[in-house]
């Protein structure tokens, strides 16, 4: 969806990096099997993290090797589909479809044509995903509508806008988990959603300021030469760090599974690093954070 949730590659062990790639590719394979070829092109890091969080504590990944459209000549490791990957594949389609619809609303007719074409291409996959996960699809539509109405009204509260988006990820927690897992997940995903919304607004700040588009940060920190003022960036960093700390605290209450150390790398190292990069205007991340599929 946004691409901000990544591990700090240099701090992962070699086997951990390979297993992360296998989970990433496993979600891609699941998207292809369940929702068709176009769905492979909407794969996002955020849903890889969710699949790791939804993984059962006693479940080990079944890792195979195979070729795909992204690597036709060299076989790569990938996880065979599991319930966690199935869920996150459906969520990927639903989230992306409504993100495209939101972009169509924000842009002019001409600039919105690529988003209309992408939404049309994804529509069949979306209908299937909405049938597979009707509760999440309904909640996504409701909260995205509420968020769009708020953004196009006179509301400029960053906290209120972030709260509306956070409820989308909070609703992503599947039914059937015991309270010992469900309650920390609700807390974690709420603060993860808040962090993603604010960091995305920070990343889009300059473009939105030049284009005259709504940005929830601009109401709180008016543009300074199309950039977030230094004082505003410092306060935003405090806000983002606070959300990051709260989701880390919730994560420590979850039962451990096979992905625990990789998730710990993402939330303790990757997210703070990306926060620094975005606020400094150095996004996308540099080589140390990028995934090198070699």
Tokens of 13: 């062990």
Half-sphere exposure of 148 (CA within 13 A, CB side): 16
Q: What is the pLDDT of residue 211?
A: 76
Q: What is the pLDDT of residue 117?
A: 93
Q: How far is CA 147 from CA 138, 188, 212, in A?
A: 14, 21, 18
Q: What is the pLDDT of residue 285?
A: 54
In the chain, % of residues over pLDDT 90: 58
Q: What is the pLDDT of residue 109?
A: 77
CA dihedral over 254, 257, 259, 264, signed as positive or negative: positive
- pLDDT tens over the chain, length 294 residues: 468 999 999 899 999 999 999 999 999 999 999 999 888 889 989 999 999 999 999 999 999 998 877 777 788 899 998 999 999 999 999 999 998 988 888 777 788 899 899 999 999 999 999 999 999 999 998 988 888 887 777 656 788 888 888 998 999 999 889 999 999 999 999 999 999 999 999 998 888 877 777 788 877 777 666 678 888 889 999 999 999 999 999 999 999 999 999 999 999 999 999 999 999 888 775 444 444 332
- What is the residue extent of each domain of the chain? 9-280
Question: Residues 72-88: pLDDT tens digits?
Answer: 778 889 999 899 999 99
Left if phi > 0, otherwise alpha if psi is -120 to 50, otherwise beta: which for 3?
left
**Which helix or strand (DSSP H or E) is residue 263 part of?**
helix 260-265
Cα radius of gyration rounded to whole Å, the chain = 19
Left if phi > 0, otherwise alpha if psi is -120 to 50, otherwise beta: which for 291?
beta
Q: With 0-12 CB in 10 A as exposed, 13-18 as middle and 19+ as buried, what is 259?
A: buried
Q: CA–CA separation, 94 vs 33, rounded Å? A: 16
Tokens of 35: 């929702």
Cα 290 to chain centroid, rounded: 16
Question: Residues 17-43: pLDDT tens digits?
Answer: 999 999 999 999 999 999 998 888 899
Q: CA–CA separation, 115 vs 108, rounded Å? A: 11
The DSSP string of 203-257 is HHHHHHHHHT---TTTTTS--BTTB--HHHHHHHHHHHHHHHHHHHHHHTTSPP-
Looking at the domain 9-280, which fold is it?
A: Farnesyl Diphosphate Synthase (1.10.600)
Q: What is the pLDDT of residue 120?
A: 93
Q: What is the pLDDT of residue 292?
A: 36
């Amino acid at each position: 969806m946004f691409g901000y949730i990544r591990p700090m590659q240099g701090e992962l062990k070699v086997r951990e990096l390979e297993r992360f790639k296998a989970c990433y590719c496993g979600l891609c394979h699941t998207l292809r099997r369940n929702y068709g070829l176009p769905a492979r092109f909407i794969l996002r890091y955020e849903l890889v993290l969710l699949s790791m969080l939804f993984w059962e504590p006693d479940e080990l990944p079944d890792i195979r090797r195979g070729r795909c459209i992204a690597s036709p000549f060299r076989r790569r490791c990938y996880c065979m589909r599991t319930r966690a990957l199935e869920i996150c594949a459906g969520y990927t389609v639903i989230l992306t479809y409504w993100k495209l619809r939101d972009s169509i609303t924000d842009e002019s007719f001409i600039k919105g044509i690529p988003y209309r074409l992408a939404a049309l291409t994804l529509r069949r996959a979306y209908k299937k995903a909405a049938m597979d996960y009707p509760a999440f699809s309904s909640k996504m539509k409701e909260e995205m509508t509420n968020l769009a109405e708020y953004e196009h009204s006179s509301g400029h509260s960053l906290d209120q806008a972030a709260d509306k988006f956070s409820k989308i990820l909070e609703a992503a927690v599947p039914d059937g988990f015991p309270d010992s897992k469900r309650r920390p997940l609700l807390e974690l995903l709420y603060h993860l959603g808040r962090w993603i919304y604010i960091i995305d607004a920070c990343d889009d700040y300059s473009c939105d300021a030049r284009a005259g588009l709504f940005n929830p940060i601009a109401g709180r920190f008016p543009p300074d030469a199309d950039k977030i003022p230094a004082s505003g960036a410092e306060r935003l960093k405090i806000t983002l760090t606070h959300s990051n700390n709260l989701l880390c605290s919730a994560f420590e209450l979850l039962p451990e599974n096979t992905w625990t150390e990789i998730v710990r790398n993402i939330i303790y190292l990757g997210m703070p690093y990306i926060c620094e990069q975005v606020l400094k205007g150095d996004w996308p991340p540099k080589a140390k954070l990028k995934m090198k599929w070699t």
